[in-house]
Structure 1
Amino acid sequence: MEVPRLSQHISTPNSPCEDMIKNLSLENIQLCERDGNKSQDSGIAEMEELPVPHNIKISNITCDSFKISWDMDPKSKDRITHYFIDLNKKENKNSNKFKHKDVPTKLVAKAVPLPMTVRGHWFLSPRTEYTVAVQTASKQVDGDYVVSEWSEIIEFCTADYSKVHLTQLMEKAEAIAGRMLKFSVFYRNQHKEYFDYIREHHESVMQPSPKDNSGSHGSPISAKLEGILFSCNTEFNTGKPPQDSPYGRYRVEIPAEKLFNPNTNLYFGDFYCMYTAYHYVILVLAPMGSPGDEFCKQRLPQLSLSDNKFLTCTQEHDGLVFHQAQDVILEVIYTDPVDLSWGNVAEIIGHQLMSLSTADAKKDPSCKTCNISVGR
């Protein structure tokens, strides 16, 4: 990997890295504006003899890396010393919207055997569409480059967090979960019109729907997993659900054993905050063998029902006993339909606190408590 200085010219590096497939760093990147099909960099000359990359292929895509390869005409191939890779978020190819504003999109790499790995969480985000184009270049004795024309522009999308990434996120959540408190019901807050609609159009059965885009951008459940959102946190002094709600003044309370029992699998889904001191943990409850269970098995870390830091179900002499973590706000997604007749619907006496709503909430990418060192 070439390590150019950040100046108007791409200069000879002080300490080149010998292996392109190692992680990129801030010093590995030099900004080069691209207008049309040819480079306009000061100090970079155009040379038609260098082969133009074509038939670009993107493979092995993760949330913060990908492999790239291409074909080239053999003409002057032995003169190529470097590749220029122009990487841009698809929504605006001419702007630089990365987390660090001083990080440009042009990657300058030594000409190594293809495919070549591009990796770096400061300029690659999960589940994000990008465009990429490539030039070949030949470094001259004076430090300047001659370059080919730009290749065609290719589009691709990065992946979600893997189970490995989610396990790292889960471990950070475990560190702040706090002691466990008893609870007895799962509850869902909505407006009266919601429950009237369920009774009239769905025979009083709440149906799963796709999860919104709140939380970590890389969470594989966002906009993909279908379920019904419940809460289970209780007030410390009463042991009962809070009387305030961000989602509406009506609440259905379902006995915990109806949704959480030995026939249910439990998964960790996400950990995030919204620029506040509150941290949220998303868990998934999926009846064994259900479509939601199959979805989660492939993508999410599974938790022991009786031994985890967030939500437990244990068998005691008088039946099932349930506990939830005190110091995080739990959002529990149940992946099957739920009949209102399993519980009770009633109006709460507290306030509707809209400021606490997590609907499509964006995660704070700078929080050290709930972020991991991969694409945000």
Structure 2
Amino acid sequence: MPGRAKEASRKAEKDSKIQPSYNPLANLCIIQMTDMEAPLATPCNIQICEVTCDSFRIMWDMPPQDTARATHFFIDLSRKESSDPNRFKHRDVPTKLVAKAVPLPMAVRGHWFLSPRTDYCVAVQTAVRQPDGDYLVSEWSQVVEFCTGDYAMEHLQQLLDKAKGTAGRLLKFSVFYRNQHPDYFSYIRKECDGLMCPSLKDSSGSHGSPINGKLQGVFFSCNTEFDTGLPPKDSPYGPLRFQIPAGFLLNPNTCLYFADFYCMYTAYHYVVLVLAPVGSEGDTFCRTRLPMLDLASNPFLTYTGPQQPGEEPVYCHASDVILEVLFTEPVHLDRGSVEQISGHHQLMSLTTANAKKDPSCKVCNISVGR
């Protein structure tokens, strides 16, 4: 019995010194949980590229371990004029875009109705969605500013297609005209030797039109009254009218481009056209930016050459839209005449200087911004 007791005592002492078995899976779980809870680095070196009128691509730098475990990106976008570019209600409760993590650069489109040629601010966070649904998030990146682009050719083609449905039948006309106040013509004669020089197109109409603030020209009208076939008696621009024979601006040596279609909270619409002499600086500018129209066959403004010897060319304009024709070269007053218009009042409310397009009109808006 004493021998057996001694042996049992030795066995118990040996068992007490045995170490617990190693469980690699359990340790791995502990390591993974620690990694999931480790802070995410703040995104840095934000880069914006491939900017269009309604989209852009964004990328930034982050450590490889964050790239491997990030499940979502938070993107906050606002117009530059906003005093508070990040409008999250809570640090990890986004009120703007939550996107699943994808390889960078990431395309951003369709999530906001981006406006063309508009300054924006953007900031990003990286995030890891946890099993309970909460997010582990990084700090916000620095705020980066960028500007969206003009309408591309495809967008202007959409606008052109809409304008075609509104143009109406073609009416004959014989002169282009430009109304201004007496001070304007006095200045042109005294300071410019009678030459009306091109000036920069203002920001009226569609915000994305490529000519706004970039193309210079002299604006003319050509619409006529239904009953007389002559220019209207009244004008929103002034009581003096410069008239020039249509053939001086519209002829086989000029190119015709479509530039815009818009309204100003009214039932009638404006179509902006550009007339640029072939090979001119204006022609070069428009050729890659605006849809070119056939002089002899388009719904807005046409030139038909003489069919027989002795005949005069025929000029026609659309009847159901107001045409604004931008001629890209200087025009001398000697080419036409300046006369007082016969109307008794000027319709100042119809001026279009820097006028804003109605963003709710279903007739003249397209889906890529206003």
> What TM-score results when the alignment is normalised by the length of structure 2?
0.85
Deviates more, 1:301-310 or 1:51-60: 51-60
The structure 2 residue matched to 1:352, chosen from 346, 361, 365, is 346
- Per the alignment, residue 305 of structure 2 pairs with 315
Matched, 1:372 2:366: yes
State the partner residue of 2:23.
Answer: none
Shift of 1:303: 0.3
Q: How many Å apart are 1:78 and its aligned residue?
A: 2.2
**SS of 1:295's equivalent?**
helix
Deviations 1:337-373 (A, max 9, x none): 0000110001112121001111110000010000011
| Matched letter for residue 292 of structure 2 | Q
Aligned to 2:137: 147
The equivalent of 1:72 in structure 2 is: 62
CA RMSD of the aligned region, Å?
Answer: 1.7
Partner letter of residue 210 of structure 2? Answer: P
Q: 2:149 aligns with which of 159, 174, 184?
A: 159
Moved over 4 A (4+): none
SS in 2 for 1:254: strand
Question: Quick one: percent identity of the two aligned structures?
Answer: 66
Q: Deviations over 1:54-107 (max 9, x none)?
A: 11111111000000111112244322100001111001142799xxxxxx9721
Segment drifting more, 122-131 vs 305-314: 122-131
CA contact (8 A) 1:121 1:375 kept: no
User: Matched residues in 2 for 1:271 and 1:63: separation?
Assistant: 17
Query: Where in structure 1 are there 5+ consecutive unaligned residues?
Result: 1-46, 98-103
Greater shift, 69-78 or 231-240, is seen at 69-78
Please give the per-residue CA displacement for 1:286-335, whole angstroms capped at 9, x wherever unaligned.
01111111110121000000000000001123121100000000000000
Q: Is the 8 A contact 1:214 1:362 kept in 2?
A: yes
Looking at structure 2, the residues matched to 375 and 223 of structure 1 have their Cα atoms a distance apart, in angstroms, of: 18
Secondary structure of the equivalent of 1:235?
coil
2-structure distance, mates of 1:190, 1:96: 47
Q: Which runs of 5+ in 2 are unaligned?
A: 1-36, 88-93
Cα distance in 2 between the residues matched to 1:156 and 1:243? 46
Separation in 2, partners of 1:107, 1:121 = 7
Asked whether the 8 Å contact 2:113–2:368 carries over to 1, the reply is no
Further displaced range: 265-274 or 119-128: 119-128
1:1-376 pair list within 5 angstroms: 49-94=39-84, 106-120=96-110, 122-316=112-306, 317=308, 318-350=311-343, 351-376=345-370
1:182 is aligned with what amino acid? K
Supply the distance in 2 between the matched residues of 1:96 and 1:262 (Cα, whole angstroms). 55
Shift of 1:179: 0.3
Distance in 1 (alpha carbons) for counterparts of 2:147 and 2:95: 16
* Equivalenced residues, count: 325
